[in-house]
Structure 1
Amino acid sequence: MGQDLLLGVDIGTYESKGVLTTTKGEVVAQTSIAHKLLFPRAGWAEHDPELTWWGDFCNISKKLLTTQGVSASDIKGVGVSAIGPDVLPIDENFNPLRMGILYGVDTRAVKEIDELNAQFGEDTIFNATANCLSSQSTGPKILWIKKNEPEVYKKARWFVDATTFIVARLTNRVVIDHFSAGCMVPLYDPWTSKWSDKYCKEYINLDQLPEILWSNELAGTITESASKQTGLAVGTPVSVGTIDAGAEALSVSVTKPGEMMMMYGSTIFMIQVTDNNQAREKRLWAGPYLFPNTWCLLAGMATSGSLTRWFKDNFAKDLISKEEAGGDNAYAELVNEAGATPAGAEGVIVLPYFSGERTPVMDPRAKGMIFGLSLTHTRGHLFRAVLEGMGHGIKQHVDLFTAIGARPHTIKSVGGGTKNKVWLQAVSDISGVPQEVAPLTFGASYGDALLAGVATGLVASAEEIRVWQGPPTVVKPNDELAKTYAPLSEIYAQLYDATKNQMHKLHELDY
């Protein structure tokens, strides 16, 4: 007897995840695949689109279809999300012409950002797009390809992100959702909800960009070629999908004004839904949300899980060896060491600008820093300071949202970092804001399944996610520890201002 199931697949920075759900949000099966993030040189971050984006989707789909009692005909809708905004030039047959250039962690286009700002004016671009150019912006990276890889540039039929690439492979239709398009600065005009060539005509034609739809609309159906590679049935509906952060926010029921998602992934990413499109600020991003007549403010720090991974790989090799020999998880042991260290890490402060920084400083030339070391400090102090450093950065954002009249009334936290209780508590203590952690933390793939359900009409609306999720766990701030952290947050902010010029000089040395 057949059943109605929804497939959600998300391609992340270091891992891809897939989930099968019923139309009521019950999880039937889930799986994940780890993959590599490529760093060809300092400041660059790439994925192999064939191996990682398309390959992971196909492998996840096939693996989930081996679930007992599940057949391809049971899948009534497919939803996709992926990291972004990224840049991939493809030919007319949807073949990649180079590696995918990732989002704000890739800082290769610094000169192109400066060039476009000098040509058009930073204020002009901001007023036209609700965003300033940053390492997150798509336009400068396309310009970088034109200047540095002219043969690739000439062959490009489209410039797409990872989600568009996968959906095109599935349906033969090149589409993107408004939320993702809004992140492709300065190509998207949020006031007309259309592409604009006003600030990009010298390096792209508008017909090289995808058709824009909403996240919960249908892109098309599985083609015969895609069926052979994924195991999905020909004709299965596929929704337009979105960037992973949007699907992640939806997965924890961020749909209404005043609700903020805090994503603890490879980077920190924040999305707050607002009730009007006038909420904007140069040190943040803004644009349409997932559905018609919605707007959001966005923020993102360049490192998070990528920084804790770097720390583990370089400073906890003994714990990694013990884990490989059957011992405790290396991350868990580091968290225990951090938890045994006093709040404030006894004066150690980390600037987590190890891949430059996105919001609020918008500085791809920024450098990471470990400050305040003495001979009394241990690995536990350093790891705690890494976690707290990201907490100080989050506080900067909460203060900024508050200053422009958009303080979140609810922060809903999601992602792998929510398993780290020391980190969660430190963030709430430093920022002074409670966090809600939903019981179902499958992440963006869960939001993808919901979008597929809405697109096919099998789920009434996105608000059904509130029924799918149960009551959250609440992390409340400790007022006493807030007093400990306050002066450290002040020093954290001052450190960047005091060393910015030296950071930029070091960047020019091109190490």
Structure 2
Amino acid sequence: MDYMIGVDLGTTSTKSVLFDLKGHIIASSSKGYPLYRDKPDMAEEDPVEIFEALIDSLTDVVRAGKLENDDKILGVSFSSAMHSLIAFDKDWKPLTRVITWADGRAFKYSEQLKESGVGQEIYSKTGTPIHPMAPLSKLLWLKNEQQDIYKKSKHFLGIKEYIFHRLFKTNKMDISIASGTGLFNIFNLDWDQQALQITGLSKDQLPTPVEPYEIERGMSKEYAKVIGIPVDTPFIYGAGDGPLSNLGVNAIQPGVAAVTIGTSGAIRVVTDKPKIDPKGRTFTYALDRNHWVVGGPVNNGGDVFRWARDNLFDAEKSTAALLGIDSYDLLTEIASKVPAGADGLLFHPYLGGERAPIWDANARGSFFGLTHYHTRAHMVRAVLEGIIFNIYMVALALEEVVGELKSVQATGGFAHSALWRQMLADIFEQSVTVPQEIESGALAATVVGQKALGLTDKIENISGMLGDAETYKPNPENYETYRELTPIFIRLSRQLQTEYENIANFQREHVHIKLTEK
């Protein structure tokens, strides 16, 4: 038998999955690591911890696969979280931890870029909205506030590039990851001169851009021995996790949107060429040079549901643990008893600032419409609906750029809940299809790997690897209610945005100081 391993480098864990060539899962292994939030707006990881998690997960999955002598692992291919940044000195010693997409310390420099008009110029060439998530803004923060590190830095990589450098001594970045840096011109597929000039970098400080189908062989013997694979096993660069999420659920046809809500969330559509939003609300990232993913990411998904569980339903959380019931299932059951629209209670889910559709790192969450008759059940229903309303706002912006959405494919942790699936169908007024539970990101990475190795002629062949799916239809009673509430939700988000900076600055001055002193 021949096999492929798909690796999913995530924000809080790395997962390695062993597949046969038909996409069946043989074995999987996941290893977690902490997200460090030592200071206000910080969100960092330790690159060594992630590298060790990768080696451990690969080792586990190879052993779990119980391969026979005539079995062969044809390749290892990667999906990776985007927008990370690590600075290195001339000897390739890391000068920073991994500054992740969730790190917001560069918010001031993002705002300066937007206000100057230069940000829109760069966005129109790079397809990455101006936001603290992007390495472009992170570099400006380093340049202005971490000058010692910035001056010593001779190389800048993301987490996947760091891993390939450790294994193969390379200095390359696939164009999918590069297209999310804010430094990469998506029209000439090279580093953008204006972005380099603003950050003060030269091309030789950044990796060489390569196709997602780029292959490395001849890894370190030390690591090959630990993992239990031949030294010449091909490692394929693969692509960013967002673009691969679309491929993994077969949402690569025109007008087919993939909605993913895990800790954070996103909605994306694949096009055959880059498409730029004149208003700067959507991203355009490469899957490869012939497939471009246009969409918008949100910071606030399942993590907001977790906040509601931990802070509003602590007693129920303990009860669920005693009864052996999933606490999230208990909360969705409570929310299902409340009618659609939560009797006029709205929730803006901006607990962690927000990317699309408002691209405001200062955004903060709020309940609106609270009355005496609202209960905690109404509040949890409003939280769930608010997450979907916000994704729908992104969808409206997306339709202005790519045209009408014809159908929705839903994935991520939220898709486990029948209530959320129905909410998505009702608020979008679209049929929502939920593919059979698979490791979609890792599977998509292996399909890219198969194409790189000449085992398949096109990535669209993934459709034959996917199992059955469930489809949810909009409920007319519910979507009539949501039709009334959606405009209020949208108008309110715009009105509140005028005060987000003021309340965020108050919190930075007063609240965060108290938190760091504890």
The two structures have a TM-score, normalised by structure 1, of 0.93
**Number of residue equivalences:** 506
1:425 to 415, 422, 427: 422
SS at match of 1:290: strand
Q: Can you list the C-alpha shifts for 1:243-291, whole angstroms capped at 9, x where unaligned?
A: 2222222111233332222111211112211244345343433435312
**Alignment of structure 1 residues 100-139 onto 2, 5 Å:** 100-103=98-101, 105-117=102-114, 121-139=118-136
Q: Aligned residues: percent identity?
A: 26
Q: Residue 24 of structure 1: CA displacement?
A: 1.5
SS at match of 1:198: helix
Counterparts of 2:309 and 2:210 in 1: how far apart (Å)? Answer: 41
Counterparts of 1:436 and 1:94 in 2: how far apart (Å)? Answer: 46
1:273 corresponds to 2:267: no
Structure 1 residues 325 and 410, CA gap change in structure 2 (3 angstroms): same
Note the residue ranges of structure 1 that are not aligned, 5 or more in a row.
none
Counterparts of 1:94 and 1:477 in 2: how far apart (Å)? Answer: 54
1:191 corresponds to 2:160: no
Match of 2:461 in 1: 464
Q: Can you list the C-alpha shifts for 1:127-156, whole angstroms capped at 9, x where unaligned?
A: 333444123322110111222222322333
Q: Can you list the C-alpha shifts for 1:387-413, whole angstroms capped at 9, x where unaligned?
A: 100111122122222334522223221
Q: Can you list the C-alpha shifts for 1:437-458, whole angstroms capped at 9, x where unaligned?
A: 1114213122222222222223
Counterparts of 1:408 and 1:399 in 2: how far apart (Å)? Answer: 9
SS at match of 1:76: strand
Q: Can you list the C-alpha shifts for 1:40-74, whole angstroms capped at 9, x where unaligned?
A: 233222222221x2122112111112215226973
Match of 1:370 in 2: 367
1:413 corresponds to 2:415: no
User: Would the aligned equivalents of 2:129 and 2:282 in 1 still touch at CA under 8 Å?
Assistant: yes
Counterparts of 1:14 and 1:315 in 2: how far apart (Å)? Answer: 25
Match of 1:160 in 2: 157
Structure 1 residues 479 and 170, CA gap change in structure 2 (3 angstroms): farther
Match of 2:96 in 1: 98
Match of 1:42 in 2: 40
Structure 1 residues 71 and 9, CA gap change in structure 2 (3 angstroms): farther
Structure 1 residues 419 and 299, CA gap change in structure 2 (3 angstroms): same
2:293 to 293, 296, 299: 296
SS at match of 1:240: strand
Q: Residue 95 of structure 1: CA displacement?
A: 4.4
Alignment RMSD (CA, Å) = 2.2
Structure 1 residues 380 and 443, CA gap change in structure 2 (3 angstroms): farther
Match of 1:18 in 2: 16
Whichever residue aligns with residue 102 of structure 1, its letter is T
Counterparts of 2:276 and 2:468 in 1: how far apart (Å)? Answer: 30
Counterparts of 1:458 and 1:92 in 2: how far apart (Å)? Answer: 39
Counterparts of 1:280 and 1:59 in 2: how far apart (Å)? Answer: 42
User: Would the aligned equivalents of 2:180 and 2:285 in 1 still touch at CA under 8 Å?
Assistant: no
Q: Can you list the C-alpha shifts for 1:156-206, whole angstroms capped at 9, x where unaligned?
A: 332122222222223222222212211111x11112111123123243222
Whichever residue aligns with residue 491 of structure 1, its letter is I
The two structures have a TM-score, normalised by structure 2, of 0.91
Counterparts of 2:363 and 2:58 in 1: how far apart (Å)? Answer: 40
User: Would the aligned equivalents of 1:279 and 1:406 in 2 still touch at CA under 8 Å?
Assistant: no
1:261 corresponds to 2:261: no
Q: Residue 369 of structure 1: CA displacement?
A: 0.9
Note the residue ranges of structure 2 that are not aligned, 5 or more in a row.
512-518
Counterparts of 2:299 and 2:405 in 1: how far apart (Å)? Answer: 21
